[in-house]
Amino acid sequence: MASVTSFIRNLPASSLRAYFDHTGIVPPTPVNWDADEPEVIRGALRAVDEMTDEERARVVNDGERVSAMADDAGQTALYSVIEDRAVLDCRANGHDRAFWLFLNEPILFRHAEEVRYTDEKRRGRSWDGFIAPPNLDIRRDPVSLDAFKASLRAHFGSNNAHVDIFERCRPTFDGEDSDLVQIAIYREGLPDDFLAFDGGGALVRRVRRPVYEAALTYEAATGVIEVVASERESREEIVRLMARDLLGIDYQNQKVPLRRYDLATLLRPFAFPTDPADGIEAVEVKQLRLMPIDDVGERVTLECLRKADRTIWSMAADHFGAGDPLAGGWVATQAKLTIKFHPKGDAKRGRTLPLTITMPHGCNLKDQTEEEQLIGEKYLRRWGILRDA
């Protein structure tokens, strides 16, 4: 119920009233929609408590969907699928923006949910990237769509498959949006059973066919196809079917090169240049894990804790002297950095972006918010740590 409380408390009274009108749910105790905002909120919360189980279940489900899109990542997804961004700009807050799209453009809202699903898993364990020719058109005619869905059903042994194709954009580290076409795929899985109570309260087993989700994006400017799917062995086949049925090309099995990180620049004092507009107060190296060049069986970790009054380089020099591993003979295999931002508004402390980079391809940047990913990628490139993508 926490998401329902958040949903109701963060919506303006006019939006709450629109929601009840839209669902047709009549509160057992009438809500005075003309009262001041706190009274309307109390009335709406009381109404949820007094609803039937079926009505409450609907509000819980709707509230969870809207609240899930009210944070930074959700807002980025909302703006990525709508043409007229001004209709969201004028809403009261993140919940109200998500609710407006949920109420007025339910298909776009579902697309935004699909965008969030895709971007949150991007460059993670469920992701792969492939290279195709640029400037191709995604086929959307009924014949091509039916062929693609038939291919998916045949490959996965599914009775049903659903495909959404829509335009979207994705922010990049240089400030420009990339134009993408996203393909959301839903397919029916094999039968499974689960325990449930029947109408008489008896415990029974019921059969269901779960629905599995996957997603593809195609960037015409670069030709890059990205795929997100939980089953690793299925990702390449999905791309092959999409290339044949929707792009009209033969699949070439050319993967996007993995991002490569190089920590050599951190073996010596580094100034970490930044742009004032990004509001960064300081960048610190908190930990370095090192390994001898000639021995893969040993490693040393240097760490500066929060209260340390010197840098990791001066600490190593003071403690090890001529035997300082940062002076030569060792390579850095992992680093932990913190990017500290200036406080905003009335806040006493600025936020902190922690980054962990592991040679040669690992970085936790994919786990951060969209804004943090853009900042992190921008500066890891500038500092020479992110070498390529």
pLDDT tens string 8-54: 999 999 999 999 999 999 888 899 999 999 999 999 999 999 999 89
Confidence at residue 279, expressed as pLDDT on a 0 to 100 scale: 93
Confidence at residue 173, expressed as pLDDT on a 0 to 100 scale: 63
- pLDDT category at 171 given cuts 50, 70, 90 is confident
Q: Is residue 347 over pLDDT 90?
A: no
Q: Is the dihedral of CA 304, 310, 312, 317 positive or negative?
A: negative
Average pLDDT, the chain: 91
Q: Is residue 175 over pLDDT 70?
A: no
Residue with tokens 């029974």: 204
Confidence at residue 389, expressed as pLDDT on a 0 to 100 scale: 52
The residues with which 303 forms a beta bridge, in sequence order, are 287
**355-386, pLDDT tens digit by residue?**
999 988 888 887 787 788 889 999 999 999 99
Q: Is residue 107 over pLDDT 90?
A: yes
Q: Is residue 201 over pLDDT 60?
A: yes
Q: Is residue 318 over pLDDT 60?
A: yes
Confidence at residue 163, expressed as pLDDT on a 0 to 100 scale: 97
**205-241, pLDDT tens digit by residue?**
998 889 999 999 999 999 999 999 998 889 999 999 9
- DSSP assignment, residue 366? G
CA dist list (Å): 24 to 9, 21, 44, 58, 238:
20, 5, 14, 11, 41
Q: Is-contact 340 282, C-beta < 8 A?
A: yes
- pLDDT category at 388 given cuts 50, 70, 90 is low
Q: Is-contact 192 208, C-beta < 8 A?
A: yes
Q: Is-contact 250 149, C-beta < 8 A?
A: no
d(CA 228, CA 302): 37
Question: What are the DSSP calls for 273-307, one per residue?
Answer: ---GGGTEEEEEEEEEEEEETT-TT--EEEE--TT
Q: What residue segments make up the domains of the chain, in order of their start?
A: 2-119, 121-247, 261-388
Confidence at residue 349, expressed as pLDDT on a 0 to 100 scale: 87
| Type of residue found at 364 | N
> What's the predicted TM-score (pTM) here?
0.78
Task: Give the other-Cβ count within 10 Å of 182's Cβ.
Answer: 23
What percentage of residues in the chain have a pLDDT greater than 70? 98
Confidence at residue 184, expressed as pLDDT on a 0 to 100 scale: 97
**131-150, pLDDT tens digit by residue?**
999 999 999 999 999 999 99
Which among 52, 127, 117 has a CA at the least distance from the CA of 80? 117
Confidence at residue 174, expressed as pLDDT on a 0 to 100 scale: 61
Confidence at residue 40, expressed as pLDDT on a 0 to 100 scale: 93
